[in-house]
Structure 1
Amino acid sequence: MSVELPLWRALTGYRILTLVYVLGLSAVAYPRYAHPLGAAAYMAALTLWTALTWRRTTSPERCTRQFLLADLGFAVGGILLTYVIDTHARIMGGAPTLPSIWTAGAVLGFAIKGGWRWAAVASSIVAAVNLVERQELARDTVHNVVLVWVASVAIGYVVEVARASERTLAHALQIEAATRERERLARDIHDGVLQVLAMVQRRGAALGGEAAELGRMAGEQEVALRTLVAGGLVPRQRTVLDVPQDAAAAARPADPGPLPAGPCDLMVLLAPDAGAGVTLSGPGSPVELPAAAAVELAAAVSAALDNVRVHVGADARAWILVEDEPDAVLVTVRDEGPGIPEGRLAAAEREGRLGVALSIRGRLRELGGSAEWLSVPGQGTEVELKVPKGIAPEGGRRGRARA
């Protein structure tokens, strides 16, 4: 809902309530007018105008500039008619004009529609006409016109600030949505295209000849694609020969196919990762999660194993432990490598290496979970992946790495 919509509704209510008040004032003062029938005719016209145009002030689309000018004309005309219809003694005594406080509704319409500048112009016109009707700078008249001028300008300024804030919020939401979509695409690219390019680059360099040239080109494309996925915000100062080697040794299918409708057993999804060098341990009963959460968690485990193969070696031993806790599922991936030096993960993310930043940490963050790296030099590395059961809370804790 627009931030200014309640103001339009309030203006509609103000016009109706002030009309009732003005009709009451006119009925009480009817015998004292110099031309009572003229006052009654104006009140009838004002009532008909308000009744026919009440929907005009319910939204900014309906409240056009032409309507605002006509509405202000009704108010100004009523003020000038007061000089003809009412007696001179009542006017000089400070009697209210025919439209009285209904006039402020016309000025507030300008303030909400066009901001403080429109409000200043409309309230200045009303102030000048009131002074002409009174024919002197009476204290009560000056007090009323200054009050209307200040109030309308203040409301117009508030409306402009609210509109600017609404535009800023909408822009921020668009940026957030685009960033989340870019991270999702980046994870898919890392799990597929980048892994293939890294594999071609390494195999080509090992084979030599024409394959080496093909590998060099694949390496260049990997660097360019990593920069594009990362948003192009980090300046890259590496050559093709310095391409990062933290991609997986083999590509995974980019499209896992349609997800099942109900819960999914995480152990079934992790079973293909187990092998001669990877030991999978878990409960004897199924570890069920929503299908989307189970697939993302299994992909994060696979990304962690890919990092083990690249940084520790293709024959490195790794262990996967699945724990089914009452409120969450905890998966621990442990290797026998040398450990991660302090600050290495943050540096890798700055250099555009996306395995930890997106394929692991990003997946868990979107599930409302967490990813933690526990590493001791010479004693390997543990990656703890935790996903809450049921409805995932918004956001999630960021993973941390420590030496």
Structure 2
Amino acid sequence: MHTPSSPSGAGEAGGPAVRVGALVPLTRPGWVEAGRHLLAGLELATREVNDAGGIGGRPLELVVRDTAADPRRAEAAVDELAGLGVAALAGEYHSVVARAAAARADALGLPFLCSSAVLDALTERPTERVARLAPAQSRGWRVYADFLLDAGHRHLAVAAEPSVYWASGIRVLREHLAPRGGTVAELDMRALTPEAACDELAGHRATALLLLVGHPEPAVPIVTSVRRDPRLAGIMIGAPAGQPEFGAWADALGGDGAGIPFLRYLPERLGPLGTRVEAALRERLAEAPSFVAFEGYDTVAVLAEVLRAHGAGRARLAGGWPRVEVEGTRGLIRFSRVPGVGVWQWAWPPLQVADRDPARPDRFRVLHTG
């Protein structure tokens, strides 16, 4: 459990704080590095909102809870936060966890702005209370499939673990590649060691292996095994879920972690706001901020605007999603209804396929945009 104190400026007169619950994976088995970046963005934006006068003179306060990538823990946190009187929920990185949190928030009448999770079916039924900044998985993974097709990869293998998220991604890939003569073969990493997966892969006609597994285990050992296997010298490794975005990937793999394309949600060039926020996040994190940190910042920027316009009442706040128009770090944010997605969706977040430059693994290359 983590509840940071209110940022500077939060103690000014003007009434009690407007509280927002923040769901963040801060401990294992959650993706801790992603959680740290998400929280850095949330906290930076909260500090700036308060330095600019808060919400109608009232300070904005984050009440942070660690989900640890556990859906049941997230549901319990939603219940607790609702009882504490938060106006809305924000955050979360893991799609399956965000889905559980969204369902519980919807049942309690609590608005939820999801920062980073991409699973299309974030809720089982359409709801007015939930909105999302990250692009739906079907859009992002189709862009990734287009990149693979353009690069000549029609026959894929996926090293996969059981998960609704991974299964959804495989379905998107299959549906997009099949009309173009593409195939997707699955390697079940519950049953295979990294070395055995290499043996299986050597017998396939796949030209690319996609990592649909957790980080660092078993993703890092799989990459190491493939890179060391002379039979697989010509195979491309990909990681659509974004594992190579974070510094821990480069720390664990060095040069072996370069040249592995992944999805990230950034424009090719940041505008003035994004450039300023990038510098502030870099100072806060002591490293280059990932796209997840920008998602955190934009989450609070949107919530602050909706709170100013509609007040802290939950019903009025949830009714504000379709009227949002906020300049975020990565472009103008508006929400709309997208076919197949039951929540209010920022329909056009920027998308890149990028990798770490083999010549300089600390530098990213943009390979494709969509």
TM-score range (shorter-chain normalised) is: under 0.3
Q: Tell me the TM-score normalized by structure 1.
A: 0.22
Answer with 1 or 2: which has the greater Rg.
1
Where is the strand percentage greater, Structure 1 or Structure 2? 2
Where is the helix percentage greater, Structure 1 or Structure 2? 1
Identify which of structures 1 and 2 has the higher relative contact order when contacts are C-alpha pairs closer than 8 Å and 6+ apart: 2
